[in-house]
Structure 1
Amino acid sequence: MNWCSNQERCGGCYYQEIPYEEELKIKEEEIRSLFAPLVMGDFPFEGIISSPKKEAYRNKMEFSFGDQEKDGPLCLGLHQKRSFFNILNTEDCRLPHPDMGKILLATREYFLDKGVGYFHKKKHEGYLRHLLIRRGEKTGEILVSLVHNLFAEKSFSEQDILQSLAVKNVRQESEENCVIETGGEAESIQDKKTFISEEALLKGWCESLLSLEKEGKLEGHFAGILHTKNESLADAVVNQGTEILYGKDYFYEELLGLNFKITPFSFFQTNSLGAEKLYEKIREYADLSNTAVEKPLIFDLYSGTGTITQLMSEVAKEAYGVEIIEEAVESAKENAKENGIENCRFIAGDVLKVLEQNKAAMNQSGDIAEGNSADKEENGNILPRPDFIVVDPPRDGMHKKALELIIRYGVNRLIYVACKPKSLARDLEPLQAAGYRVKRLCAVDMFPRTNNVEAVCLLEKQL
């Protein structure tokens, strides 16, 4: 029995036919082989923590519109393995919750019926680009956004229309209505098909999704249905303006007793139950109850929606989260307020630039110079000196200069969370050269059935 209909064709899953226990052993050995030659002194590797769910664990998916073969029918799903252009229909993908597959199928069928074309990467024409779906594991709330190009007549794929309607003649009736007449050679082909305005098109799509919930076909429920404009040439989900079609532009998820408001484009771990395992390990590694500073001041760099910042706030004097995505920072502030946490501060800005501003404000001893009070953080991003640092950078790791500035603080202990272990392996060289040693290291399987895994590393400075 195949794992899914696209087994061997889709590049998403790497482990499909072996038991999960064997997959964990392979991943554990890969982490061991990566770090053992690099770690100075004893190798304190603690193995790998399994994911609570092996499938249907992803709470976020970005699907692409396209076709599987040139001039083929509209497809919506994931890229074919080793192909930049071909898109596979993946409504039976087993990594996200089945609700996402139903939304995927309903969306494809709706736009296929309307004859709406996808955005061609070479021609830079067409309307449909991506479908972003997020779903709360604990709450069941669903947020969907259709990412599209500018609306125009050419948004309706001529090739799709020729294939599905046997078009012989097209005549313009009005600025918003275009009627297509067919030759009527086949009974299954409609005699007419009408182009509608973008407003009506999106309204119809929204209604088609809401009907899934009304008919009881979904386990979850819609928090919001949105549409996002994207005129960029890059083949990526870019937000150039998002509007609400239904509900609201956020949903909630619950982790370790705290509630988190999540917006369409803010960072949040894609495996909610796995994230709880990850954050429990971070708190265990921090073990701030035994530090010399009774209530340390904590930096959470690359903080996203402030998950780690808030989880660390219980043992901190103050916890500062720094994140470049302003939307995520605003959500983090609201999350802290809703959770009744008053000792968290969230800074919107690039980590490197924020740290550079702090470097300029420091005196020779490494403290904030007089006249550069931490009260200015809302405007000047000037932060007090930290006692403990947590970094959770993007996949490619930290900028070399940002790492140098972190080392400059000279904190006794820091935690590095790596969604790409090779980035941590690269950054270990300057950290160890600066006197830090790996005290604890483990892997957390946040991405079952793929060849990705996260690593958590506790480093202590040699005195």
Structure 2
Amino acid sequence: MRKKEIKEIKIENMKYPNISQGYDENGRLYEFKGGVLGQRVRVKAQKKNKIRVKAKYLELLEHSYLENNTSHCPNTDICGGCAYQKLAYETELMVKSMMVKDLIRENDIDIEGDIRINQAPKNSGYRNKMEYTFGDRVKGGELILGLHRQNRFYEIVNPIDCNIIDEDFNTIRSEVQKYFRERKTSFYHKNTHEGLLRHLIIRKAHYTGEIMVVLVTNSDESFDEIRKKLFVNFLLDIKTKGQIVSVFHVINDSVADAVVVEDIKLLYGKEYITELMLDLKFNISPFSFFQPNVYTAQKLYQKAFDLAGVDESMDVLDLYSGTGTITQVMASKAKSATGIEIVNEAVDKAWENAKLNGIDNINFLCGDVLEEIEKVGDQFDLVVLDPPRAGINPKALEKILKIQANKFVYISCNPKTQMENLKDFIKAGFEIKDFEIFDQFPRSRHVETIALLTRDEK
């Protein structure tokens, strides 16, 4: 079997969201995931054709001239959670904007006016949810509660002073790690599938300061009611700026390296935390979806509302509505708003939040957009789209394009799939009247985009 070539490559271009490009000494193009513009890296060739070589990132050899931010996280080069820690924030915005604009050009999409990138109101301490894993850094090492190391399945990084999360997250994680270390509590081993501790999830509502903690273990009976009460008392004694108002215990015996909820029990406090957004209240349960950066999400949803030009005469359809955040924002001014979402728990939470906010000109349907869209008819003044990363199912898009609305607002967490859908809108006679980028995830490679589409009067 022919040995795969290992090459040193300088990254000369980047494609959204995470594809680096560079050339070897023979002028052959290499593409691989990872890296930052200007870095010199070592890669291993995987697949070749006449045009390019698909490769695997191995290691960093030389930092980029762009990496001049000295206040970065101490785990930058091993954690892998944040690609742009060493870039000045202005440089990060430039790189992200450049990649999205290149994506638009590659898809031959015509957009009127300049494409603006909206910076995040906060580029540190913004995340409102973290999921940590119990493990170790080296085989047989002491317990670490942290994040998976980049390209190392078994190794866990101790994320000291992580700067994209609120300080309460760092405090709780560190104290919980210390608590279980002192008690020499076993953690789950992926190869033997033995050990008690698996994950710790922390959620915080930034505007109310309410904190939720979720401990995930296997079903080991040694973690009995007494140990659970002791753990809750320990948590409540931790000095935090916010207040822990909810503690859950989840049992997960699945062999998968993920949080699989086989049983869940409230150990203390409320079943949810409450967050504020655009003068509305939202109750967040342990596993309900809520935008991880409430500060940028507010700007994004306000932009959607402004582009929509909603008034009291309009009926709004919100597809892929999740927990109904945008649906409620639109309903606050519209004649009516209807949301369609496939996840049952999200729909239940949407109804609960609408009731909490006293909104009654609203309706939610639980089911696949492909099927449910036929039940609501095609007479709407505005359609809002916020699909999952995979974009809109082609068959569902065919039905969406038949809705009589003259205005669509398309929000996307994946501009790559959004471009494919926008081409279909253009073929169907729509024009892109506005397009903006929002930096929803500072220090990471990801952004969100929003497009206003109107029917071409011609």
Q: TM-score range by the shorter chain?
A: 0.7 to 0.9
Q: Say whether 1:259 aligns with 2:281.
A: yes
Instruction: Tell me the CA shift for residue 412 of structure 1.
Output: 1.6
Tell me whether 1:203 sits opposite 2:272 in the alignment: no
Aligned amino acid, residue 322 of structure 1: I
1:334 maps to what in 2?
352
Residue by residue over 1:378-430, the C-alpha shift from the partner in whole angstroms, topping out at 9 and shown as x without a partner, is xxxx5674332111122222223222222232432211111121121222232
SS at match of 1:78: strand
Separation in 2, partners of 1:325, 1:429:
28
Letter aligned with residue 336 of structure 1: A
- The alpha-carbon distance between structure 1 residues 278 and 9, as it changes in their structure 2 partners (threshold 3 A), is same
Picking from 411, 418, 428, the partner of 1:434 is 428
In the other structure, the counterpart of 2:306 is 284
| Count of aligned pairs | 388
Structural mapping, 1:26-175, within 5 Å: 26-38=95-107, 40-152=109-221
Distance 1:111 1:410 in 2: 59
Q: CA deviation at 1:91?
A: 4.0
- The separation in 2 between residues aligned to 1:461 and 1:238, in whole angstroms, is 44
Partner Cα distance (1:24, 1:18) in 2: 10
Structure 1 residue identity aligned to 2:318? D
TM-score, structure 1 as length reference? 0.79
2:454 to 457, 460, 463: 460
What is the CA–CA distance in structure 2 between the aligned matches of 1:53 and 1:120, rounded to whole Å? 37
Q: Which structure has greater strand proportion?
A: 2
Q: Which position in structure 2 is the counterpart of 1:372? A: none
**Kept after mapping to 2: 8 A contact 1:149/1:231:** yes
Contact in 1 for aligned 2:328/2:362 (Cα 8 Å): yes
Distance 2:351 2:325 in 1: 11
Q: After TM superposition, give the deviation of residue 58 of structure 1 in Å.
A: 0.4
TM-score (normalizing by structure 2): 0.80
Whichever residue aligns with residue 384 of structure 2, its letter is V
1:362-388 C-alpha deviation (Å, 9 max, x unpaired): xxxxxxxxxxxxxxxxxxxx5674332
Answer with 383-392 or 90-99: which moved more: 383-392
The structure with more helix, counted as a fraction of residues:
1
From 404, 407, 413, the counterpart of 1:413? 407
* Structure 1: distance between partners of 2:302 and 2:355: 22
SS of residue paired to 1:36: helix
Distance of 2:377 and 2:269 partners within structure 1 = 38
**Preserved CA contact (<8 Å) 1:135 1:141:** yes
- After superposition, the CA RMSD in angstroms is 2.0
SS at match of 1:408: coil
Distance 1:451 1:25 in 2: 12
> Alpha-carbon deviations, 1:231-261, whole Å to 9, x = none?
3332222323321111012011111111111
Q: 1:178-257 maps to which residues of 2 (within 5 A)?
A: 196-212=222-238, 217-257=239-279
Separation in 2 of the partners of 1:88 and 1:426? 37
Q: 1:117: how far off? A: 2.3
Inter-CA distance 198–403: structure 2 relative to 1 (3 Å threshold)? farther
In structure 2, how many angstroms separate the alpha carbons of the residues matched to 1:119 and 1:315?
A: 50
How far residue 301 of structure 1 moved from its aligned partner, in angstroms, is 1.6
User: Once the two structures are superposed, what CA deviation does each residue of 1:405-461 show, in whole Å capped at 9, x if it has no partner?
Assistant: 222324322111111211212222322222222111000111111111110111122
User: Deviations along 1:305-349, whole A, 9 cap, x unmatched?
Assistant: 211001001332211112233222222212212212111112222
Please state whether the residue corresponding to 1:72 is helix, strand or coil. coil
Change beyond 3 A, Cα 1:62–1:45: farther
CA distance in 1, matches of 2:254, 2:279: 39
Check 1:208–1:5 CA distance in 2 against 1; reply closer, same or farther (3 A cut): farther
Partner of 2:75: 6
Larger Rg: 1
- Per-residue deviation, residues 270-316 of structure 1 (Å, max 9, x unmatched): 11111111111101111134xxxx62221112222211001001332
**3-state SS, counterpart of residue 35 of structure 1:** helix
Between the aligned partners of 2:138 and 2:395, the Cα distance in structure 1 is 45
SS class of match (2:172): helix
2:318 is aligned with 1:296: no
Unaligned runs of 5+ in 1: 153-195, 362-381
Alignment partners' CA distance in 1, 2:401 and 2:254: 37
Aligned match of 2:41: none
CA–CA separation in structure 1 for the residues paired with 2:247 and 2:105: 47
Q: Identity, % of aligned pairs? A: 42
2:362 aligned to which of 321, 325, 344: 344
Equivalent position to 1:386, from 340, 358, 380? 380
Structure 2 unmatched runs, 5+: 1-69
Between the aligned partners of 1:147 and 1:45, the Cα distance in structure 2 is: 47
Residue 26 of structure 2 is matched in structure 1 by: none
Q: Which has the higher contact order (CA 8 A, sep 6+)?
A: 1
- The answer to whether the 8 A contact 2:435-2:450 is kept is yes
- Give the letter for the 1:226 counterpart: F
Equivalent residue number for residue 316 of structure 1:
334
> Which structure 1 residue ranges, 4+ long, deviate > 6 Å from structure 2?
none
| Paired residue secondary structure (1:281) | helix
CA distance in 2 between counterparts of 1:2 and 1:44 reads: 35
After TM superposition, give the deviation of residue 78 of structure 1 in Å: 1.0
Q: 1:314 to 1:407 in 2, by over 3 A?
A: same
After superposition, give the CA deviation of every residue in 1:8-39 in whole Å (9 maximum; x if it has no partner). 11111111222211211221111111113435
Cα pair 1:407 1:434 within 8 Å, conserved: yes
